[in-house]
C-alpha cells in the first residue's frame, strides 16, 4: 500500500482502536482502494452517498411524491439470491463444519480469496462500516465492522443495522468485533465466494452485490458466526421472527417462529388479526433473526439483532400484509422490482390492475400478458423497522422479550398438518430437526423441491448440524421455564394445487390456539405426531372455506408419513455418530406409534 493509504487510514479514522486500525490497514494494502471513507451513519452521509449512487446509476430515484425517499436498485441478473453452493464454513477441521455445509481449509480459503481481493478496489472507495447487531449497549449485542467497496451495501447496512459512530463508540478499544471484508469484484458467478472463519470471527465475501451474500451483519454474522458463538457461549442464534401477541385482556405473549427463507416470517411477524379478533393485537419484534439467551429468571429471552427488514416483495399487498405496505411507503430501497411509467414500483401480487406497460426488473420494456415475471421472484425491500406501524415497543429493549412459544414451520404441499404441539422440549427439538420445506427463490437453484431444513437453519448453521441439534437439547438444562414448542404448515394444497388454508391474517386463528395452549386454557387431542386442536378449537366462522378443506389441512395420512420417515432417515444418517441419541429415540417412538 502506498503511504497515502496509510495516511488515509490513520489520519481520517474516527477511532484509536489499534486492532481495528491495523486490520483496516492490512485490508486496504490488499485491496488497494483509491480512498478510504469511515462511515458515521449521519443523515448528511446518507444524502451524500445516495446522490452519488444515483449519479453512478446504482440507485434509480422513484416517484418522490408517491414514494418519498425510495429508490430502485437493479442487481446483476446473475446475482439475485444467496448462493449456497458458494458459501463456505472454513473451520480448521472439516468435521467441525459438518456434512450440511461446504467446507474449505482456512489457509487455502485466505489464499484463494486473497488473490481475488488483491487490488480488487483499485479505482474504488473502501467504506469502513462499523455496526451493532442488537440494541446499542445491550448484553447480547455484538459489534461488526464491514469493509466494502459497494455504496449499495453501505446504504442497506445503514437501514438493517445500528450503523456508524454509535457502534464505533460501543466498540471503544476492544478487539472483540467481527471482521467482514466484501468486494463486489466483477460479479462473475464463477468467482464468487462467501467464506466464514468462525475461529477468527471473520467473514470474506467476494464477487456478489446481493442481500444475504453481502450484508454481512445478517446471515453471515447474525446466523453463521452467531450460531457458532452461541454454542460456545450457551445461547441460540436462530432464523426466527419474534412477535408479541396481546389478547383483549391486555396480556402479551411472545412467540418466536422459524420458517425457511421465503416461507412467511415477515408476514407472520406483521400480521393483522381478522375482524373477528377485535381487541387482539400482534406486534413485531423481529422478522428474520432471533438471538435467544436464558435470563436471570430462567426464562428464554429473545432480541432481534437487526434494525430493518430485508423482505420478499412479491405477494405483498394491502390484503396479505398491510403493515408491510405501510412500511415500504417511504425511505425504502427496492431491489429487482419492476417500475411503472410514472416512476412507482410494481411486482406480481401487488394490489390493483396489472399495468399495461412496465420496465421489468432487468430494465427491459414489459407488456401485460408477457409470460416472464416483471419483478424477480426474490425481489426485496430494505426498510427501517421504525416504518412498521406494528413495531413492538420492546424492539429496542436490550434485554429482549421472554419467549413462551417456539414455532417451526415449513412449506409443505402435503404430509404436514396445519398445527400441532410437541409433547415436550425433546420432542419439540425433534419436530424442528425433522422440518422439511420446498425450496424457494431466496437461494439460487431449483424451486419447489422438498429438502430437510432443520429449524430453517440448513443454509445458516455455522458448525456441525449434529452438534447444533445437541446444543438445542442441552439448552433445556438451563431454561427453567421452557417455551412450548409447536409445528405449523400454512402451505398444504388440495389436488388442484390450491392452498387449503387461507393463511396471512387468518393465521391468527392458529396463533390464538397456540397462546391458549401456552397458558393452559384449552385441552387438546393426542395424535401420533403430537397434540392437535380438538374439533372447533380453531374457529373457522367467517372463512370462505369448504368444510372438507380444514379436514384436509389438518389430516394425518399414514402413507405420506411412511415416505416422510424415509426422508428423515437419510438426513439423520448424514449426521452419522453426531445424530443426537435423544432424537434417535424420538424417531423410534414415532415409528412405533405409526406402526411402520
Rounded to a whole number, what is the distance in angstroms from the first to the last CA of the chain?
Answer: 67
- Among 217, 168, 122, which Cα is nearest to 13's? 168
Whether 27 sits among the annotated catalytic residues: the reply is no
Among 158, 219, 293, 427, interactor with ligand SPV by CB under 6 A = 219
Binding residues for substrate: 82, 210-212, 261, 378-380
Question: Parallel, antiparallel, or unpaired for β 419-421 and 202-206?
Answer: unpaired
Instruction: Enter the C-alpha cell of residue 161.
Output: 443495522
Does residue 192 interact with ligand SPV by CB under 6 A?
Answer: no
Q: How far is CA 292 from the centre of its chain?
A: 15
Binding mask 221-260 for ligand GTP (x = CB under 6 A): --------------------------------------x-
306 close to 222: Cβ distance less than 8 angstroms: yes
Kindly indicate which of the ranges 169-177, 212-220, 462-470, 522-530 contains the residues binding ligand SPV, using the contact rule CB under 6 A.
212-220
What H or E segment, with its residue span, contains residue 325? helix 322-327
Binding mask 312-331 for ligand GTP (x = CB under 6 A): x-xx----x-----------
Side-chain-facing half-sphere of 76: CA atoms under 13 Å: 12
User: For Mn ion, which is the closer residue by CB, 274 or 462?
Assistant: 462
Among 162, 179, 196, 265, interactor with ligand GTP by CB under 6 A = 265
Residue 507's binding partner among ligand GTP, Mn ion, ligand SPV, none (Cβ under 5 to 8 angstroms by kind) is ligand GTP
User: For ligand GTP, which is the closer residue by CB, 415 or 507?
Assistant: 507
CA separation for the pair 380, 152 (Å, rounded)? 13
Among 138, 180, 212, 410, interactor with ligand SPV by CB under 6 A = 212
CA separation for the pair 430, 472 (Å, rounded)? 10
Q: How far is CA 346 from the centre of its chain?
A: 23
529 close to 420: Cβ distance less than 8 angstroms: yes
CA separation for the pair 139, 160 (Å, rounded)? 19
CA torsion sign for 482, 457, 448, 333 is positive
Kindly indicate which of the ranges 29-37, 307-315, 515-523, 569-577 contains the residues binding ligand GTP, using the contact rule CB under 6 A.
307-315
Q: Active site residue: 39, 90, 263, 461, which one?
A: 263
Among 82, 182, 350, 509, interactor with ligand SPV by CB under 6 A = 82
CA separation for the pair 415, 559 (Å, rounded)? 9
Instruction: Write down the residue that cell numbers 446504482 correspond to.
Output: 58
Kindly indicate which of the ranges 17-25, 60-68, 179-187, 210-218 contains the residues binding ligand SPV, using the contact rule CB under 6 A.
210-218
Alpha carbon distances (Å) from 219 to 313, 377, 407: 19, 20, 20
Binding mask 281-310 for ligand SPV (x = CB under 6 A): -------x---------------------x
Among 179, 218, 394, 587, interactor with ligand SPV by CB under 6 A = 218
Q: Least distance from C-beta 507 to ligand GTP, angstroms? A: 5
Where on the phi/psi map is residue 404: left (φ > 0), alpha (ψ -120 to 50), or beta? Answer: alpha
**Contact positions vs ligand GTP (CB under 6 A):** 259, 261-267, 287-288, 311-312, 314-315, 320, 442, 490-491, 499, 503-504, 507
**Contact positions vs ligand SPV (CB under 6 A):** 82, 211-212, 218-219, 261, 288, 310, 442
The catalytic residue positions are: 263
Amino acid at each position: 500500500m502506498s503511504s497515502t493509504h496509510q495516511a488515509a487510514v490513520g489520519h481520517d479514522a474516527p477511532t484509536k482502536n489499534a486492532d481495528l486500525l491495523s486490520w483496516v490497514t492490512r485490508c486496504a494494502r490488499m485491496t488497494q482502494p483509491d480512498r478510504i471513507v469511515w462511515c458515521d451513519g449521519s443523515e448528511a452521509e446518507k444524502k451524500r452517498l445516495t446522490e452519488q449512487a444515483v449519479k453512478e446509476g446504482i440507485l434509480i430515484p422513484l416517484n418522490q411524491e408517491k414514494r418519498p425517499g425510495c429508490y430502485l436498485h437493479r442487481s446483476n441478473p446473475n446475482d439475485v439470491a444467496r448462493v449456497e453452493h458458494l458459501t463456505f464454513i472454513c473451520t480448521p477441521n472439516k468435521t467441525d463444519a459438518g456434512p450440511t455445509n461446504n467446507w474449505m481449509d482456512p489457509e487455502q480459503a485466505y489464499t484463494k480469496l486473497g488473490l481475488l481481493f488483491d487490488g480488487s478496489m483499485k479505482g474504488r472507495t473502501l467504506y469502513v462500516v462499523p455496526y451493532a447487531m442488537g440494541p446499542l449497549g445491550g448484553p447480547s449485542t455484538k459489534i461488526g465492522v464491514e469493509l466494502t467497496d459497494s455504496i449499495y451495501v453501505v446504504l442497506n447496512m445503514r437501514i438493517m443495522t445500528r450503523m456508524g459512530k454509535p457502534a464505533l463508540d460501543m466498540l471503544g478499544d476492544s478487539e472483540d468485533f467481527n471482521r467482514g471484508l466484501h468486494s463486489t469484484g466483477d460479479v462473475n458467478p464463477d468467482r464468487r465466494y462467501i467464506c466464514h472463519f468462525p475461529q477468527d470471527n471473520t467473514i470474506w465475501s467476494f464477487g456478489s452485490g446481493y442481500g444475504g451474500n453481502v450484508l454481512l451483519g445478517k446471515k453471515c454474522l447474525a446466523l453463521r458466526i452467531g450460531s457458532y458463538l452461541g454454542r460456545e457461549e450457551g445461547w441460540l442464534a436462530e432464523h426466527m421472527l419474534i412477535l408479541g401477541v396481546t389478547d383483549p385482556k391486555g396480556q402479551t405473549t411472545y412467540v418466536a417462529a422459524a420458517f425457511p427463507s421465503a416461507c412467511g416470517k415477515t408476514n407472520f411477524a406483521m400480521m393483522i388479526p381478522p375482524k373477528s379478533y377485535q381487541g387482539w393485537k400482534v406486534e413485531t419484534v423481529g422478522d428474520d433473526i432471533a438471538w435467544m439467551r436464558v435470563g436471570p429468571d430462567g426464562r428464554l429471552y429473545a432480541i432481534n439483532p437487526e434494525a430493518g427488514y430485508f423482505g420478499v416483495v412479491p405477494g405483498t399487498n394491502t390484503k396479505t400484509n398491510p403493515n408491510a405496505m405501510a412500511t415500504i411507503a417511504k425511505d425504502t430501497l427496492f431491489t429487482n422490482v419492476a417500475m411503472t411509467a410514472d416512476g412507482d414500483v410494481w411486482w406480481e401480487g401487488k394490489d390493483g390492475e396489472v399495468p399495461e406497460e412496465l420496465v421489468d426488473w432487468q430494465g427491459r420494456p414489459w407488456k401485460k400478458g408477457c409470460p416472464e415475471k416483471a419483478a424477480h421472484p426474490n425481489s426485496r425491500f430494505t426498510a427501517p423497522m421504525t416504518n412498521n406501524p406494528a413495531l413492538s415497543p420492546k424492539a429496542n429493549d436490550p434485554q429482549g422479550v421472554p419467549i413462551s412459544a417456539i414455532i417451526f414451520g415449513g412449506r409443505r404441499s402435503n404430509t404436514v398438518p396445519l398445527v400441532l404441539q410437541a409433547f415436550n422440549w425433546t420432542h419439540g427439538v425433534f419436530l424442528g430437526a425433522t422440518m422439511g420445506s420446498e425450496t424457494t427463490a431466496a437461494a439460487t437453484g431449483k424451486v419447489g423441491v422438498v429438502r430437510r431444513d432443520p429449524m430453517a437453519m440448513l443454509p445458516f448453521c455455522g458448525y456441525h448440524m449434529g452438534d447444533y441439534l445437541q446444543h438445542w437439547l442441552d439448552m433445556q438444562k438451563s431454561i427453567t421455564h421452557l417455551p412450548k414448542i409447536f409445528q405449523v404448515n400454512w402451505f398444504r394444497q388440495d389436488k388442484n394445487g390450491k392452498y387449503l388454508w387461507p393463511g396471512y391474517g387468518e393465521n391468527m386463528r392458529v396463533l390464538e390456539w397456540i397462546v391458549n395452549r401456552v397458558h393452559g386454557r384449552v385441552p387438546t387431542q393426542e395424535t401420533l405426531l403430537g397434540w392437535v386442536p380438538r374439533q372447533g378449537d380453531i374457529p373457522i366462522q367467517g372463512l370462505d372455506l369448504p368444510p372438507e378443506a380444514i379436514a384436509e389441512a389438518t389430516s394425518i395420512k399414514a402413507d405420506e408419513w411412511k415416505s416422510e420417515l424415509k426422508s428423515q432417515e437419510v438426513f439423520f444418517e448424514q449426521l452419522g455418530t453426531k445424530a443426537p441419541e435423544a432424537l434417535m429415540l424420538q424417531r423410534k417412538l414415532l415409528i412405533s406409534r405409526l406402526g411402520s
